[in-house]
């Protein structure tokens, strides 16, 4: 009887040790497998080529500014009409909507190319200026800044800025003749082709 009891006890301890060793072996195997996969994953990440930057222009934006003067705002109706392809909009200029440089900004943007932006100005008199010895005005008076963007909206390049800044001052009677003849009325059209090349026309 004592011998049988001893054999059973030894057998039980042996089985327990085997289970512990097998458990440790399984844990070690899992750890090694995880390390191998992690290493492989790191190798794959390191070997992944960086995508080439998209340099194809797909979008365009422009800020167009009309210049005015105190005399124009005080004595004239200055009406700006513009269209970015979504419909015509109109604004009558007042001191409340021009900036501190007496400029009125029109913002254009298009999420596709080709695109066309049109902006125009019409000047009429609110009252007689014939008695004024000097009247300051702009025959043209505008500037713009524009840029091209890729499909993701990343800026690719600026379009060179252009400034037509020609303030003039003449007796009121002379300016009346210019305004009545429509010499201060202009329409500007900017067309961008599929490559982002800009064409310009003035009427």
Q: What is the pLDDT along the chain (203 residues), one digit of tens a residue?
A: 444 444 444 444 455 555 555 655 555 555 555 554 454 555 555 677 777 889 999 999 999 999 999 999 999 999 999 998 889 999 999 999 999 999 999 999 999 999 999 999 999 999 999 999 999 999 989 999 999 999 999 999 999 888 888 889 999 999 999 999 999 999 999 999 999 999 999 98
CA distance 58 to 115: 10
Q: Which residues contact 156 (CB under 8 A, 6 or more apart)?
A: 55, 57, 147, 148, 149, 150, 196
Strand partners, 11: none
**Full strand arrangement of the beta sheet holding 186-192:** 88-92, 76-83, 115-125, 186-192, 198-202
In which element (H, E) is residue 155 found?
Answer: strand 155-164
Residue 119 to residue 32: CA distance in whole angstroms = 69
CA-wise closest residue to 119 among 90, 152, 153: 90
The strand pairing partners of 138, in sequence order, are 167
DSSP three-state, residue 174 = helix
pLDDT at 44: 52
With CA atoms as reference, report the closest residue to 59 among 146, 139, 187, 118: 146
How do the domains of the chain map onto residue ranges?
Answer: 1-48, 59-202
Chain Cα centroid distance, residue 54: 16
> Whole-angstrom Cα distance, residue 85 to residue 82?
9
């Amino acid at each position: 009887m004592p011998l049988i009891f001893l054999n059973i006890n030894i057998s039980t301890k042996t089985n327990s040790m085997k289970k512990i060793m097998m458990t440790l072996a399984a844990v070690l195997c899992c750890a090694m497998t995880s390390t191998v996969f992690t290493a492989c994953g790191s190798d794959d990440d390191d070997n992944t080529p960086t995508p080439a930057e998209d340099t194809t222009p797909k979008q365009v934006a422009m800020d167009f500014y009309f210049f005015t003067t105190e005399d124009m705002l005080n004595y004239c109706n200055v009406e700006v009409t513009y269209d970015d392809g979504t419909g015509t909009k109109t604004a009558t200029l007042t001191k409340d909507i021009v900036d501190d440089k007496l400029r009125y900004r029109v913002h254009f943007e298009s999420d596709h190319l080709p695109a066309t932006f049109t902006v125009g100005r019409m000047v009429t008199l609110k009252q007689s200026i014939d008695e004024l010895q000097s009247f300051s005005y702009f025959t043209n008076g505008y500037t713009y800044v524009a840029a091209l963007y890729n499909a993701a909206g990343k800026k690719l390049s600026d379009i060179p800025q252009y400034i037509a800044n020609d303030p003039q001052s003449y007796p009121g009677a002379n300016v009346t003749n210019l305004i009545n003849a429509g010499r201060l009325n202009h329409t500007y059209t900017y067309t961008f082709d599929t490559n982002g090349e800009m064409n310009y026309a003035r009427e």
